[in-house]
Structure 1
Amino acid sequence: MPQSQFQSFDDGADPSLGPARLALLRGELARRGLDGFVVPRADEHQGEYVPKNAERLAWLTGFTGSAGTAVVLRDRAAVVVDGRYTLQVREQIDTRAFTPVDLAETTPEAWIEGNLPEGATLAYDPWLHTADGVKRLEKAVAAAGGRLVPVDGNPLDAVWNDRPPAPQAPVRPHPLAFAGEASEAKLTRVREALAKARCDALVVSDPHNLAWLFNLRGSDVAHTPLPLGYALVPRDGQATLFLDPAKVGDEVRSLLAPVARFAAPAELGPALQALAKTGARVRLDAATAGYALSRLVEAAGGKVDVGPDPITLMKAVKNRTEREGARAAHRRDAVAMARFLAWFAAEAPSGRLTEIDAVEMLEDARRQTNALLDLSFPSISGAGPNAALPHYHVTRRSNRRIEPGIFLIDSGAQYQDGTTDITRTLAVGAVSAEMRDRFTRVLRGHIAIATAVFPKGTSGAQIDAFARRPLWEAGLDFDHGTGHGVGSFLSVHEGPQRISKLGTTPLEAGMILSNEPGYYKQGAYGIRIENLIVVEPRDIPQAERQMLGFETITLAPIDLALVEPRLMTAEEIAWLNDYHARVRETLAPQVDEATRDWLVEATRAIGA
């Protein structure tokens, strides 16, 4: 069995360390005259994936999920997590030291309001909270009758004796052949947006936006090719990139010399202060800029303009080169998926496979493309009840044998020309009528999104219900969004576009999203069908408005053993047959004979 090069199966949790580390932090807080401290999962850039030296929440509590907040007071502490992690958090923390709290029932601010003693001083690190986040904390602390104060140095860092060093992965160019637009042109667009917003400069605090704007990539965090750093883009004059000099080689410096200068991260503060002293209005990204940046600008006499970074929307709309790259990446990835699925179909009935076996074999199939640079996220490989956890992470301890029933695998890859993300739910042996019913309802919702046609200006929230109607008709639903944005050799979770009840950004031609409705029966099984889709223009004769639709670019069979055709309309069956015909025609010439034989059967046409 091949071994994973990109995914760890260690859960990283050691609940026994929590009480001692909590005592260390409380000792440091007492030394500073503080009664409490807020520990978010975020780093200075509010990223989903953070470097090891920013895993403060995991170090303190043992909880390794991608979102959460700890609040530490003198006599109690809580770890607040969302619905993805309510089970995981109880396994990873010492519940005698930390109280697990469900975000759906109690926000961190509500917990603070209910537990902070009157007159107590609660501290926070202003680099790890946005301006809006600080306002929420201020409101909660005021309601409790306490005092909220920023700290200049993080007290947790002061007691984290074996804290890893900051990452120093080399920054590398992202060639124009993949980026499709030069940095000069991108900077011109950004400056036009600044002029329209009447801002004098933009602080680029989101490393994804920095990478896109300057056509750079890095390896500072797992699974997303980011160089961590900041940029300052004035409306007039040369931009400055604040990156660790050890990460920036001569090639990158030479390529960007016409448009940007380089400076050490420590120079960001003085540069902002110098700009602010001129009375400049500085745009700070509402989503990723730490409140410390606002304090720097305001203290020096500048004007803070907290709002959206214009790069975020520019990046979301992929140019022709990026779209073609995405299609090429998905064709390549589809060959790997076909090999994996054929292998799984042959081996799973034996009862010898485990969740980790499946992850390692799929990763090996992708490595055989000779183009795999990383996974785009840790693969979700769930058998039986583990499949009912939408964000399940398999570890050596949780690893289950794949037995008759349902198996779900959600995975993706990073290639230089594109980022992939695909989920397939697979039947292992006999499945129940209920499983086929639920799977078919999810499939019908998936098809409803894939075939949707909508006027320009429509948001993801307006079409999210299309995916839910077949489930709603049976009194069922799922709790996650139907789709998230996807980057171009960047983050597999990219905003602002999404298909969700909260997706208010209008969809535009060129955006890439996922289409992934699901159904989860707790303690039993889970179902999700995920393809990536590209928003494209739709030419409708005599249409009175500009219309849009979706192109599906993921190519992999959908398990027919779980489909109940009697629940589907003729149009839905036609879509499935057409999709499978395209999968077969694209992949058959590229796979070995055994995989081809399996593929022909897996993509056969079905009738009503």
Structure 2
Amino acid sequence: MFQNFHDTASPQQGPPRLAQLREEMVKDGLGGFMIPRADAHQGEYVAACDERLAYLTGFTGSAGFCIALADIAGIFIDGRYTVQVKMQVDEDHFTPVDWPENLPADWLRSQMPNGGVLGYDPLHYTPSQIKAIEKGLESSAISLKPHDNLIDRIWTDQPAPPQGKVSVYPDEFAGDSHEDKRARLATDLKTAGQESAILTLPDSIAWLLNIRGCDIPRNPVAHAFAILHDTGHLTLFIEDAKLDDTVKTHLGADITIRPPHAFGPALRSLTGPVRLDDTSAPLWIVQELEASEVPYAFAPDPCVLPKACKTEAEINATRTAHLRDGAAVCEFLCWFDAQPPDTISEIDVVTKIEGCRAATGKLLDISFDTIAGTGPHGAMSHYRVSHSSNRTLQDGELLVLDGGGQYLDGTTDITRTLPVGKVGDDEKQAFTRVLQGMIAISRLRFPVGLAGRDLDAIARYPLWLVDQDYNHGTGHGVGVHLCVHEGPQRLSKVSHVPFEPGMIVSNEPGYYREGAFGIRIENLVVVTAADLLPGGDQTGKLCFETLNFVPIDKRLIKVEMLSGPERDWLNAYHRTCRDKITPLLDQETQLWLEQATQPV
């Protein structure tokens, strides 16, 4: 099993640790200290040694932060975690704060009216983050101060940094060699008049060099920093023990390998101008450059957009991975439908579906901890089952099942909502509205230049008609044997990045009723150029090609709520599922799939 079911944190650990932190704050003359979820690489998922937010508060969500003051500690969480945070933190000592509805500066103004000094670790905050808070605090008596990390002082048994081995990613799946990628980016640097670019995102470095790592569970990346020069030469700052001779041969003579502690001196020795992404690089790098008066310019990480626009080889590879994964999910669903209500638990579900994926012989890891939430647990969009929370599936409930696999040829992610026994009409109506939103995105044709903010509302429209909604984006970018959450593209009202061909994004509207049930339906889609329709007079449209092929449970659909085109899409999708997946299945699952894909 890749997934375990241990309780990763407990609420009772928070108060004494908060007391220790406050003692350190007093020693250093600080009125508060900020603790983000992120590490020095601004990763959503972090290594055990970087779980500072969970260590202090008990909260284990993938986004959020804490601001600890002398008499209040606010834990800022978005709509995905409003239920989870109540279960994981001691609310007598930590106060949940809805974010981004409440911004840090506004909250600080109300909680520190007489001013004070707020400390933060510049390794764990970006220039743009600190600039935004400082701007919000203008005309107040509150000031921010770069400071040593106080959590590291009190975390006496903090794990050591990971030392996972790096591997070579095949060019046949990547589509381009790392030599070609570096040459293209170096040309861009020269055109921009920049001598070098600082790379801090592990997935950018993995993509650029066609390597993968294992420092972060579920994400095949290695902790490293890099400097790409306008000559195409690159200096990689990484522990030498992570690299074997095969990897070093693959990297070749144009890659200089140096230890991580050499990164600071290397920054100070640059001549510039240096390109630096102020939304992902740590502020500490700016401090190092300014200490030696190295000129720099803020600009996006040069790898991010090329990485997002997949090559044809990457798209073909991920199509294959999704077919394999789809067959494994269908095998699970066949098994699931044979289980009577009240006989299996959430852990049984997670164990079984991971076993189905592992049985392919190609599973390298799961792409994130599988979400298997039944009944009220389904209302927690990022629920993770543990031994203490494990719940038996009960007649009349819904099960939200969201998971995926890391295969060499692709990263998969799919969500299906399943009925346990006989489900009520209210749940079916909500499910059908979610399905209508998902179908709307799947059928969408849209002009070039539109971004997630322009399309997100289309998925919500059926829910809005009855005053329902969901507190997460409709979709996130996805890598190819890289991170399951990848930027810069998102199907979200906060995304301004235009969609381009080759971008992979999830399509996952949902609905959640706290204490009762949750619903989510998710496929991954890839942006493609749309053909001109007969009678049409405009070119340049884009559309979404679906990558997942697993039936949507018809028992939850109120067919009379669907329009004719929506029924046509669903029937065509199910026919495609049957055609593509049947050859990959055993006879029992083939029979199940035949029944599950009958037209409505």
Same topology, TM > 0.5: yes
| Residues 321 and 409, structure 2, Cα contact 8 Å, conserved in 1 | yes
Does 2:557 match 1:566? no
Aligned match for 2:497, one of 485, 493, 505? 505
Does the Cα contact within 8 Å between 1:208 and 1:491 map onto a contact in 2? yes
CA distance in 1, matches of 2:21, 2:578: 58
Q: Distance in 2 between matches of 1:466 and 1:43?
A: 35
CA distance in 1, matches of 2:435, 2:60: 32
1:454 corresponds to which residue?
446
Deviation at 1:341, TM superposition (A): 0.3
Verify the 8 A CA contact 1:531 1:553 in the aligned structure 2: yes
The whole-number CA distance in structure 2 between the counterparts of 1:92 and 1:476 is: 27
Structure 2 match to 1:469:
461
Match of residue 185 from structure 2: 190
Q: Give the TM-score, by structure 1 length.
A: 0.95
- Of stretches 410-419 and 67-76 in structure 1, the one that deviates more from structure 2 is 67-76
- 2:562 aligned with 1:594: no
Which of 547, 553, 574 is residue 541 of structure 2 equivalent to? 547
Identify which of 495, 517, 532 aligns with 2:524.
532
Cα distance in 2 between the residues matched to 1:145 and 1:135: 16
Secondary structure of the structure 1 residue equivalent to 2:598: coil
Name which of structure 1's ranges 142-151 and 529-538 shifts more when overlaid on structure 2. Answer: 142-151
Question: How far off is 1:519 after superposition?
Answer: 1.6
Aligned-partner Cα distance in 1 for 2:70–2:505: 45
**Deviation, structure 1 residue 199:** 2.0
**Structure-2 residue corresponding to 1:317:** 309
Q: What SS class does the counterpart of residue 261 from structure 1 fall into?
A: strand
Note the C-alpha offset of 1:409: 0.3
**Percent identity of paired positions between Structure 1 and Structure 2:** 45
Stretch moving more, 384-393 or 487-496 = 384-393
CA distance in 1, matches of 2:541, 2:101: 40
- Measured at CA, do residues 475 and 92 of structure 1 come closer, stay the same or move farther in structure 2, by a change above 3 Å? closer
Amino acid in the other structure paired with 2:564: A
- Does structure 1 residue 392 correspond to structure 2 residue 386? no
Q: Does the aligned pair in 2 maintain the 1:374–1:415 contact within 8 Å?
A: yes
What letter matches 1:500 in structure 2?
S
For 1:269, the equivalent position in structure 2 comes to 264
Task: Pick the aligned partner of 1:496 from 488, 494, 513.
Answer: 488
Q: Which amino acid aligns with 1:393?
A: R
Change (3 A) 1:421 1:197: same
String of CA shifts for 1:32-69, please: whole Å, max 9, x gaps.
33332111111001101001111111111111111121
The structure 1 residue matched to 2:213, chosen from 204, 207, 218, is 218
Q: 1:182 to 1:574 in 2, by over 3 A?
A: same
Task: Note if contact 1:141-1:148 (Cα within 8 Å) is conserved in structure 2.
Answer: no
Q: What is the distance in 2 between the residues matched to 1:361 and 1:343?
A: 9
Structure 2 distance, partners of 1:171, 1:386, is: 37
Residues 428 and 557, structure 2, Cα contact 8 Å, conserved in 1: yes
Matches within 5 A, 1:44-443: 44-116=40-112, 118-151=114-147, 153-236=148-231, 238-275=233-270, 278=271, 280-347=272-339, 349-404=340-395, 405-443=397-435
Tell me the C-alpha RMSD between the 2 structures. Answer: 1.6
Instruction: Verify the 8 A CA contact 2:84 2:380 in the aligned structure 1.
Output: no
Tell me, what secondary structure is at the counterpart of 1:410?
Answer: strand
Does 1:479 pair with 2:495?
no
SS at match of 2:495: coil
Secondary structure, in 3 states, of the residue corresponding to 2:519?
strand
Contact kept in structure 2, 1:112 and 1:140, CA below 8 Å: no
Q: Is contact 1:114–1:144 with CA below 8 Å preserved after alignment?
A: no
Displacement after TM superposition at 1:464 (Å): 1.7
Does structure 2 conserve the Cα–Cα contact (< 8 Å) formed by 1:337 and 1:556? Answer: yes
**For residues 5 and 138 of structure 2, what CA distance do their matches in structure 1 show?**
43
In 2, Cα distance between equivalents of 1:575 and 1:376: 28
- C-alpha contact (below 8 Å) 1:69/1:108 kept by paired residues: no
Structure 2 vs 1, CA of residues 269 and 415 (structure 1 numbering), >3 Å: closer, same or farther? Answer: same
Contact 1:116 1:144 in 2 (8 A): no
TM-superposed deviation, 1:587? 1.8
CA shift digits 1:245-269 (9 cap, x unpaired)? 1111221111112331101111111
**1:484-527 C-alpha deviation (Å, 9 max, x unpaired):** 11101001111111111122111111111111111222222111
Question: Is the Cα–Cα contact under 8 Å of residues 178 and 321 in structure 1 kept in the other structure?
Answer: yes
For residues 34 and 590 of structure 1, the distance between their equivalents in structure 2, rounded to whole angstroms, comes to 61
Write out per-residue CA displacement over residues 527-584 of structure 1, whole angstroms, 9 at most, x where no aligned residue. 1110111111112055433121111110101001011221112221111111111111
**Contact 2:325–2:412 (CA under 8 A) maintained in structure 1:** yes
How far did residue 196 of structure 1 move?
A: 3.5
Q: CA deviation at 1:387?
A: 1.1
1:104 CA drift (Å):
4.6
Checking the alignment, whether the CA contact within 8 Å between 2:186 and 2:232 is kept in structure 1 is: no
| Structure 2: unaligned runs, 5 residues or longer | none
Provide the residue aligned with 2:514 in structure 1: 522
> SS of 1:122's equivalent?
strand
On the 8 A contact 1:116/1:141 being kept in 2, the answer is no
Match of 2:597 in 1: 603
Displacement of 1:237 after TM fit? 5.4
**Matched residue type, 1:264:** P
* Code of the aligned partner of 2:78: D
Secondary structure in structure 1 of the residue aligned to 2:79: coil
**In structure 2, do the counterparts of structure 1 residues 307 and 322 end up closer, same or farther at CA, with 3 Å as the change threshold?**
same
In the alignment, is the contact (CA less than 8 A) between 2:182 and 2:232 conserved in 1? no
Report the alpha carbon displacement of residue 91 of structure 1 after superposing the two structures with TM: 2.1
Q: Which runs of 5+ in 1 are unaligned?
A: none
Question: Aligned pairs, how many?
Answer: 597
| Correspondence for 1:556 | 550
SS at the partner of 2:261?
Answer: helix
1:80 partner SS: strand
CA distance in 1 between counterparts of 2:400 and 2:66 reads 31
Deviation at 1:319, TM superposition (A): 0.4
Query: Residues 14 and 519 from structure 1, CA distance in 2 versus in 1: closer, same or farther, beyond 3 angstroms?
Result: closer
More displaced stretch, 48-57 vs 430-439: 430-439
